[in-house]
Amino acid sequence: MTFSDVRDSVIRPLAIFFCALTCLFSLGPTQFQLSAIGAITVIFSLMLSPSGYWNEIREKGIAALLFVVLIAMGYYFSAFPPKSIKGGWELFRSLFVFFAGGVLLSRSSEKQTMSAFFRASWVAVIILVGLYFWSISQWEWRWSLRNNGVLSELISGIHEYANVAAMCLLVAACAVMYDRQYRTPAVWALLVILVGILVVSDSRGAYAALLFCGLLALGWWKKPFFYMFWAASLGLIVAMVWVSFFHQGDIFLGYTIPPSFMERIILYQGTWSAFLDKPWLGYGLNSFKFAPDLIGGGLDQVMPHNIYLEILFSVGLVGTTVLVVACALLLKGSVNQGADAPRLLLYRSGVLLFAYLQFRGLTELHLNYKVYVALFLSIALIHAGGRSETTSSGKQATLN
């Protein structure tokens, strides 16, 4: 058996599986050992396609250069140089895994990629179900995981637990919606279990983010849903800004604002005030948790629970512009209406993962290594879907 045989029958399927697993677990608990999975992804991709790295860097070179500038700013212009270098290191690691994911996803067969996502989803389901029964058995068998102290001790809470299920659900639901070949009993069973996991998680933030992703997905079917998506997004942002910075009291439109969000309001206001003190270059990557005196409010937090405010706090307006331009360059040209059906499916799955990350970032998430990996692998998936490839007959495939 030659190396090519081993590569095609063993290494390639394993590499794509670990790439899918990395993407699905990126927003989950640290106990999932994402760093180890990411390292395996990089090693396998180097074995599969060393030249693929050069192609990825060449195609995304300007964007990669902009991210390097962001790292340099996070280190050299930080108020906490010894601390923020860790943030730069996390960003560098995520960039490396991103290129590995890009090599694998954009140069592998669509069938292998989607199969890997489904296998990774089943692995995630097994872990999440096991965590569920373990945590409720230690918590007097209450079915809902909200305020479950055992789960908060095992991982950081229901949000990370629900995020993994939501990422899996988006890929599976997108496949079922846009390609008939994935409407199998195994995939339907996966969807049912994932919905059950999300119900018991009682993660309202995940529900809201999935609702927006649903509107976006329906927009590919009927244009009016796109307008609903953008209108709802704008309404959500305006409402959050109003409640966080202008509203008085804990009653909004007749509803009591939860105590957890009231605490976030203090964080938002403190983070914004600190940003205004250093608006251009910020305080450095990964420096928020080392600056509780800048935030005030008597809160000792590692993040502001809003990735947009964290970007402004960490790298200021200049760095935020760099990050936005880099993402725009990575996404440029990814929308290709002439793409064949499998590639279009990958593209749309990547768009939904990207959208989920953005909406969850309004009240959750922290811009560390895991979130950057989710961001970059989502973009890599979009990039893979944007490439138009013809079928063997020379004609474009169409969605069922």
Tens digits of residue pLDDT in 384-397: 655 444 333 333 33
Measured at the CA of 104, the angle between CA 99 and CA 106, to 5 degrees, comes to 90
More confident residue, 172 or 342: 172
For tokens 């008597």, what's the residue? 298
Residue 297 pLDDT grade (very low, low, confident, very high; cuts 50, 70, 90):
low
Residue 197 pLDDT grade (very low, low, confident, very high; cuts 50, 70, 90):
very high
Residue 275 pLDDT grade (very low, low, confident, very high; cuts 50, 70, 90):
very high
Residue 276 has pLDDT above 90, yes or no: yes
Contacts for 12 with CB less than 8 Å, ≥ 6 apart? 48, 108, 112
Quick one: pLDDT at residue 233?
A: 95
Among 41-50, 53-62, 191-200, the range scoring the smallest mean pLDDT is 53-62
258: left (phi over 0), alpha (psi -120 to 50) or beta: beta
Q: What is the pLDDT of residues 375-384, one digit of tens each?
A: 878 877 777 6
Residue 306 pLDDT grade (very low, low, confident, very high; cuts 50, 70, 90):
very high
pLDDT, mean over the chain: 83
Contacts for 267 with CB less than 8 Å, ≥ 6 apart? 295, 297, 299, 301, 304, 305, 306
- Cβ atoms within 10 Å, residue 57: 14
User: How much of the chain exceeds pLDDT 70, in percent?
Assistant: 92
Residue 237 pLDDT grade (very low, low, confident, very high; cuts 50, 70, 90):
very high
What are the extents of the domains in the chain? Answer: 3-385
* Model confidence, pTM: 0.88
* C-beta separation of 372 from 36 below 8 A: no
Residue 333 has pLDDT above 70, yes or no: no
Quick one: pLDDT at residue 388?
A: 41
Quick one: pLDDT at residue 169?
A: 95
Q: What is the pLDDT of residues 60-81, one digit of tens each?
A: 777 778 878 887 888 777 777 7
Q: What number is the average pLDDT over the span 346-367?
A: 88
* C-beta separation of 358 from 327 below 8 A: no
CA distance 32 to 99: 21
More confident residue, 104 or 333: 104
The closest of 307, 276, 274, 272 to 291, measured between CA atoms, is 274
